[in-house]
Amino acid sequence: MANATNEDIFKQFKEHSVAEFFKKNRQMLGFSGKVRSMTIIIHEFVTNSLDAAEEAGILPEIFVQIEVLDKEGDHYRITVKDNGPGIPKTHLGKALGQMLAGTKFHRYVQQRGQQGIGAAACTMFSYLTTGQKTRAVSCHKGKKLTADISLDFKTNRPIVEEVSEEDTTESGLMVVAEYKDVRYERSDYGVYEYLRRTALANPHTSITLVEPNTEKSVFPRSVEMNPKRPTEIKPHPLGISTHDLLEFAKHNSEYKKLSLFLINTFSRFSSGKVDELRAILPGFNFDKNPSDLEWHEAEQLVKAFAGVKWIAPATDSLVPIGKDQVELSFKNIFNPELVIITERPPKVYRGGIPFMVEAGIAYGGGLINAQKKGDVMRFANRVPLLFDSSGCAITNMIKSIDWKRYDVRAFEEEPIAVLVNVVSVHVPYTSAGKQAISSEEDLEIEIKNAVMEAARSIQRYLSGKRKASDLANKKKLVSRYVSQLSGDLSSLSGEKREKIEKTLRYIIETKYSSEMGVDDEEAKDIKAAEKAKKEEAESEGDSDE
Amino acid sequence: MANATNEDIFKQFKEHSVAEFFKKNRQMLGFSGKVRSMTIIIHEFVTNSLDAAEEAGILPEIFVQIEVLDKEGDHYRITVKDNGPGIPKTHLGKALGQMLAGTKFHRYVQQRGQQGIGAAACTMFSYLTTGQKTRAVSCHKGKKLTADISLDFKTNRPIVEEVSEEDTTESGLMVVAEYKDVRYERSDYGVYEYLRRTALANPHTSITLVEPNTEKSVFPRSVEMNPKRPTEIKPHPLGISTHDLLEFAKHNSEYKKLSLFLINTFSRFSSGKVDELRAILPGFNFDKNPSDLEWHEAEQLVKAFAGVKWIAPATDSLVPIGKDQVELSFKNIFNPELVIITERPPKVYRGGIPFMVEAGIAYGGGLINAQKKGDVMRFANRVPLLFDSSGCAITNMIKSIDWKRYDVRAFEEEPIAVLVNVVSVHVPYTSAGKQAISSEEDLEIEIKNAVMEAARSIQRYLSGKRKASDLANKKKLVSRYVSQLSGDLSSLSGEKREKIEKTLRYIIETKYSSEMGVDDEEAKDIKAAEKAKKEEAESEGDSDE
């Protein structure tokens, strides 16, 4: 919208493609800063490779090579190769050279990628910084297709130059491209750390990295099985918007009756639920054709949905990293004194989008040696989030917790690490760069609750530990007098000194039970509490919200 | 990019419009949270209105009304009316109902809006939450056109229903639309605060707000003249990318010689500069046709540009709020003890984009009463940024300063407020919601330098103040003994007590000069230093970087 005194300004009125928009605003894709830009490139290709292999039921095997091409260290070649199913000839160009095109954007299924922008953004960034096309080698169904891909900014269309096509027995996609305005370094924000965290959250994956100095690191597979496939689901009625409901109704051609349309379009919608709605909305015509649904009717329905008790989204639509694996990862990284992981049932946010939050807290031990204090490790659908920490709902929720209540005096000064993985069929990122989660209220509450739940167990441990240490101190103090007192009492009473001393020591032992004993008890308590919580969670998962 | 074992997954391959993308990711446009969503709507319309009026040379007069339509307080009608030039019939639909369309995206001129997304995003948000169209009344060149506007998500095209067209003598645009999922409240993140800050940074604007409780607030115009119009400029050669240079060369049809193309396409490019480049690149053919320029040649040129001394971008392409106005605004809001404003010459970041940073620091006084501590007020092209503070380069740079060096013990605990306004022909926002500035290195350095420059003056004042207060304490201490000592000395020497006392008091007065005196001197020093800086800045602005 731009007004002007004369038509001149409107001669300047133009329409732009999404590729032009992101070309000018590449920081919105995460391309700002050299180290970050390089990590973003790896991130985009690796997440796509993992999604593709898993979807095809293949155990992912990923090879990443980074080479420096000039003396100044500003010009790189990046190779990412996977063992996935490859991409057919018909789609290769669009998959790598067109923004907002792909198989992910519109599906209700938990995936790492979800926008259909990432790969094309890398093709763009390579072209913008080096003028080079991106070489793609796709081995798909017996054919090995080699092509050079770039994109037409004005139209957001891919430009594909086929190089060769031959027979192959292999399978997978390899992308090779040159980049400038990037830098390789082994920092907390670099590729090495990104891949290390990816490996931790994806133990079924084997990742090989060859760094510019030709050093080769292998993050080996530790689980010989892909995680359970998240099922593609229907949207959940809870929280769906009027507009969504109307869109679904408009694009439905199968069902001629509103009741059938509702039952078949949304998850957890039974004929029993339709009856409940009839009771809430007397006179509402559930037999009408969905395509005749009007805004005010859809609005009535959406309001009524909120008055019905719904079963939570099916748990199998969301696949967390898993308690054991998070615990193992934590132990591998930090070898902490204590690890607490929470598992909580799925919830729903805006538009019927199911999500769940895994949280873990590690305390003490190796964290002290590593001088890690108040460390936050963020993941979304198993993808490590390394950037934009301060603008992320995970960080903000962790910081908003009153840690003193949990005997953690100051979060940023204690040897504590918090891991949060947000799992969802649609993660609400703050920008197309997908590095921070937006402040959606439902999500924030659940993140906070998950971390606080873990914090309560930490508190039991910390306060138990403190109690035990207080007791041990008292015992030590009292014990000092035993020898003297036994002697004195023996002289006074004539009883044998040894007997008196033994009795006194027994009294002390029973009164001030050992540190070990308290810890054992504490551990038992924690385990019992966790078991109870788990059962509760399971029953919640299958019943109403 | 998505692979799969079979073609099935690729049957799901789809192309999406930018409207669908932002519909699903409305948080990227700033629509997350009810209060924020309402402020974002006002922000989009008001920035457009200000840009339009100023461009047409009209003193902006903006009327904003917010009405609640239901008892639950969840359904609102928002009206924004300006006195700008209106929008012609040919462009009204696209301006309000098509994303990435407009007059702003491709121009090198300082504006508030710059993406061509905002107004269409509001139309979308209204439709998504209420199913209603957005009513636009455009008075343009004697015609008053009333139309209802919505958008087709699949195609990102506007849907326009003309309601009426009649003659008028008025001029301006009025937009009326309904919204749900918004909330009005008078918080730091609400519409009132947004408009208050807008008024502070735009004293030539008159803004009227009618709140839901029908309370009417007027932020009156305090300057009866529009700010100088920022001139539309050519891109600056410094920092331009190879790709940009080639794009310009490809789209140039006027000049057949590379040298002439360079001189006429970029700012500060004289034939003298071409000669300098010839010296750096012996043998390079500056007579060739620009359309024949190849990547490696363009790359050579861009490298050579960095070796030439360029005059900074023309100052008139950037119009800051201005030192006096920032000072006045600060005084109006906080009535602080001290205000320091820095004015610095324009600089250039990525792609030859000129920018400048205004920074101000207010200390003490009213800030103490208002209990404001470590307050950060962010602006970009005079637009207040209320959200995403923690992810913004301004906040991060302010927090990264070692404030102790400036006698500010802890930034967040002192009565200090920092205002930063980033002025540019293209502000690199972190997302389409335009609430935070991305971490561009050149920008960050300049923000930090600007604030540190102001901090140095604050330090002089604070340390002077501390010195004065120390002196005053010593004086007080010593003075206590004067009376006793004068009596004793008088008895011993026979001199009159009054005379001795007077002499002693004179000695004390000269040795421990008064607090007032120090402050005056200090103030003079600060003024002199600022004058010197200003002169330096002015000369820098016209000479080489």
Task: State which of B91-95, B349-353, B364-368 shows the largest mean pLDDT.
Answer: B91-95
Q: Is the dihedral of CA A450, A111, A350, A255 positive or negative?
A: negative
Q: Is the pLDDT confidence value at A384 over 50?
A: yes
Note the pLDDT tens digit of each residue in A339-380. Answer: 999 989 888 886 578 899 999 999 998 888 888 889 999 999
Q: DSSP characters for A439-501? A: --HHHHHHHHHHHHHHHHHHHHHHHHHHHHHHHHHHHHHHHHHHHHHHHHHHHHH---HHHHH
Query: Residue B104 is nearest to which of A2, A242, A440, comparing CB atoms?
Result: A2
> For position B314, what pLDDT does the model report?
76
Task: Please indicate whether, in this complex, the C-beta atoms of B241 and A128 are within 8 angstroms of each other.
Answer: yes
Q: Compute the distance between CA of residue A149 and CA of residue A85 in angstroms, rounded to an integer.
A: 19
Q: Is the pLDDT confidence value at B115 over 80?
A: no
Q: Is A71 on the interface with B (CB under 8 A)?
A: no
Query: Residue B52 is nearest to which of A2, A33, A390, comparing CB atoms?
Result: A2
Chain A nearest-CA residue for B122: A1
pTM of the model: 0.80
Q: B53 is written with which tokens?
A: 């009026």
pLDDT band at B87 (very low <50, low <70, confident <90, very high): very high
Which distant-in-sequence residues (6+ apart) come within 8 Å of A11 by Cβ? none
Angle between helices A295-305 and A271-280 (to 10 degrees): 110
Cβ neighbour number for residue B284 with a 10 Å cutoff: 14
Query: What is the radius of gyration, based on Cα positions, of chain A?
Result: 30
Note the pLDDT tens digit of each residue in A428-442. Answer: 998 888 889 998 888
Q: Compute the distance between CA of residue A183 and CA of residue A190 in angstroms, rounded to an integer.
A: 9
Task: Please indicate whether, in this complex, the C-beta atoms of B103 and A241 are within 8 angstroms of each other.
Answer: no
Return the percentage of chain B with pLDDT > 90, whole number. 51
Q: Compute the nearest-CA separation of A172 from chain B (Å).
A: 8
CATH, range B315-456: 3.30.230.10
Q: Is the pLDDT confidence value at A142 over 80?
A: yes
User: For residues B309 and B277, is the Cβ–Cβ distance under 8 A?
Assistant: no
Task: State which of A461-465, A497-501, B153-157 shows the largest mean pLDDT.
Answer: B153-157
Q: Is A57 on the interface with B (CB under 8 A)?
A: yes
Measured CA to CA in angstroms, residue B390 lies from A344, B112, B179, B378, B399 at distances of 29, 22, 28, 11, 10
> For position A15, what pLDDT does the model report?
84
- Three-state secondary structure call for residue B512: coil
Among candidates A140, A144, A201, which has minimal Cα distance to A167?
A144
Q: Compute the distance between CA of residue A413 and CA of residue A190 in angstroms, rounded to an integer.
A: 25
Q: Compute the distance between CA of residue A514 and CA of residue A519 in angstroms, rounded to an integer.
A: 9
Q: Is B74 on the interface with A (CB under 8 A)?
A: no
Among candidates B177, B173, B227, which has minimal Cα distance to B48?
B173
String of b and e for A235-261 (b: at least 16 CB within 10 Å)?
Answer: bbbbbbbbbbbbebbeebeebeebbbb
Note the pLDDT tens digit of each residue in A469-480. Answer: 777 888 777 777
Query: Residue A15 is nearest to which of B21, B88, B100, comparing CB atoms?
Result: B100
Q: Any idea which residue has 């992910």 for tokens?
A: A104
Q: Is the pLDDT confidence value at A99 over 80?
A: yes
Q: Compute the distance between CA of residue B171 and CA of residue B466 in angstroms, rounded to an integer.
A: 57
Q: DSSP characters for A44-105? A: HHHHHHHHHHHHTTPPPEEEEEEEE-STTS-EEEEEEEE-S----HHHHHHHHH-TTEESST
More confident residue, B240 or B318: B318
CATH 3.30.1490.20 for domain A18-219:
no
pLDDT band at B454 (very low <50, low <70, confident <90, very high): very high
With residue A360 as reference, give the H or E element that holds it: strand A353-363
pLDDT band at A143 (very low <50, low <70, confident <90, very high): very high
Measured CA to CA in angstroms, residue A283 lies from A277, A289, A299, B66 at distances of 11, 16, 15, 35
Among candidates A407, A257, A422, A302, which has minimal Cα distance to A355?
A422
Q: Compute the distance between CA of residue A438 and CA of residue B472 in angstroms, rounded to an integer.
A: 53
Q: How open is the CA angle B52-B55-B59, to the nearest 5 degrees?
A: 80
Task: Please indicate whether, in this complex, the C-beta atoms of B9 and A55 are within 8 angstroms of each other.
Answer: yes
Please count the residue pairs, one from chain A and one from chain B, whose beta carbons lie less than 8 angstroms apart. Answer: 260
Return the percentage of chain A with pLDDT > 90, whole number. 51
> For position B366, what pLDDT does the model report?
87
Which distant-in-sequence residues (6+ apart) come within 8 Å of A502 by Cβ? none
User: For residues A398 and A336, is the Cβ–Cβ distance under 8 A?
Assistant: no
Q: Is the pLDDT confidence value at B541 over 60?
A: no
Measured CA to CA in angstroms, residue B336 lies from B4, B69, B329, B417 at distances of 65, 41, 11, 9
Q: Is B21 on the interface with A (CB under 8 A)?
A: yes
pLDDT band at A391 (very low <50, low <70, confident <90, very high): confident
Q: B399 is written with which tokens?
A: 């927090």
Q: Compute the nearest-CA separation of A140 from chain B (Å).
A: 8
pLDDT band at A136 (very low <50, low <70, confident <90, very high): very high
Alpha helices, H only, A281-374: 295-305, 323-334, 366-369
Q: Which of A150-159, B182-191, B265-274, B499-508 is predicted with the least confidence, judged by mean pLDDT?
A: B499-508
Note the pLDDT tens digit of each residue in B235-251. Answer: 888 868 888 899 899 88
Query: Residue A128 is nearest to which of B87, B243, B391, comparing CB atoms?
Result: B243
Alpha helices, H only, B202-317: 242-251, 258-265, 271-280, 295-305
Angle between helices B515-542 and B441-493 (to 10 degrees): 150
Note the pLDDT tens digit of each residue in B198-236. Answer: 998 998 999 999 999 999 999 999 888 888 888 888 888
User: For residues B339 and B323, is the Cβ–Cβ distance under 8 A?
Assistant: no
Q: Is B300 on the interface with A (CB under 8 A)?
A: no
Contacts of A82 in chain B (CB under 8 A): 3
On average, the pLDDT of chain A sits at 86
Q: Which of A211-215, A287-291, B420-424, B433-437 is predicted with the least confidence, judged by mean pLDDT?
A: B433-437
Hey, what CATH class is A315-453 in? alpha beta
> For position B104, what pLDDT does the model report?
72
Q: A101 is written with which tokens?
A: 């095109």
Q: Compute the distance between CA of residue B283 and CA of residue A470 in angstroms, rounded to an integer.
A: 83
Q: Is A346 on the interface with B (CB under 8 A)?
A: no
Number of helices (H), then strands (E), belonging to chain A: the values are 16, 16
Q: Compute the distance between CA of residue A308 and CA of residue A116 in angstroms, rounded to an integer.
A: 35
Task: Please indicate whether, in this complex, the C-beta atoms of B1 and A101 are within 8 angstroms of each other.
Answer: no
Task: Please indicate whether, in this complex, the C-beta atoms of A3 and B140 are within 8 angstroms of each other.
Answer: yes
- Single-letter residue type at B34: K
String of b and e for B93-114 (b: at least 16 CB within 10 Å)?
Answer: bbbbbbbbbbbbbebbbbbbbb
Q: Is the pLDDT confidence value at A545 over 50?
A: no
Cβ neighbour number for residue B500 with a 10 Å cutoff: 18
Task: Please indicate whether, in this complex, the C-beta atoms of B2 and A439 are within 8 angstroms of each other.
Answer: no
Contacts of B386 in chain A (CB under 8 A): none
More confident residue, A492 or B422: B422
- Three-state secondary structure call for residue B214: coil
Torsion of CA A534, A540, A542, A543, to 10 degrees: 160
Q: B32 is written with which tokens?
A: 């997350």
Q: B351 is written with which tokens?
A: 């792609």
Q: Compute the distance between CA of residue B206 and CA of residue B218 in angstroms, rounded to an integer.
A: 7
Measured CA to CA in angstroms, residue B519 lies from B177, B362, B433 at distances of 55, 17, 45
pLDDT band at A1 (very low <50, low <70, confident <90, very high): very low
Q: Is A103 on the interface with B (CB under 8 A)?
A: yes
Note the pLDDT tens digit of each residue in A505-537. Answer: 888 777 776 444 444 454 455 555 556 555 555
Alpha helices, H only, B266-344: 271-280, 295-305, 323-334
Note the pLDDT tens digit of each residue in A439-454. Answer: 888 899 999 999 999 9
- Three-state secondary structure call for residue A295: helix
